[in-house]
A = this chain, B = another copy of it.
């Protein structure tokens, strides 16, 4: 197995739809790669802003986590909540992530980064989790603006943004999002 195989397999993320939108009637929803891209973009700006505010954060580490955090879905697909009730997604992702990283020069490092996200073990891992939720809500906002209507339950994630350790730093951003959402309705 080579790095090229890994790059080819990552191509699955472009083909696979985000099933949460699909199941609520968004007919051609974004791909997993679409989502991951904006998570990385958001992570970049939030991490830099934290650093500017004097928070000690490793931006390289945060970006790597953002790029890697959904890679296991290249094998697992985007398993929706309705399925997670029946399947041990966490365990499966862990195993798939390990086997994917085995092909790389630094399997240990990448797997540790992946766990930092999954288990919230580092500031950087938790920041990507914050960015992951924020990204989903920005997308929900866009779909609702376009006319889609069955997306209420996604907005529960707003609470977890507000309860996050990062909320004090990005309160304005989160509340601006919440405000735009109200206008949409």
How many Å from the CB of A158 to the closest CB on chain B?
A: 14
Q: How many copies does the complex hold?
A: 6
Evaluate contact between A7 and B38: CB separation under 8 angstroms. yes
How many Å from the CB of A94 to the closest CB on chain B?
A: 9
Evaluate contact between A106 and B48: CB separation under 8 angstroms. yes
Q: Does A138 count as interface, using CB distance less than 8 angstroms?
A: yes
Evaluate contact between A7 and B42: CB separation under 8 angstroms. yes
Evaluate contact between B83 and A92: CB separation under 8 angstroms. yes
Partner of A176, one of B2, B17, B36, B89: B2
Count how many chain A residues have C-beta atoms less than 8 Å from C-beta atoms of the other chain. Answer: 82
* Nearest B residue to A60, CB-CB: B60
Cα distance A92–B86 in the bound complex, in angstroms: 5
Evaluate contact between A147 and B87: CB separation under 8 angstroms. no
With A34-B33, A138-B7, A176-B2 as contacts: A67 and B83 at CB distance below 8 Å: no
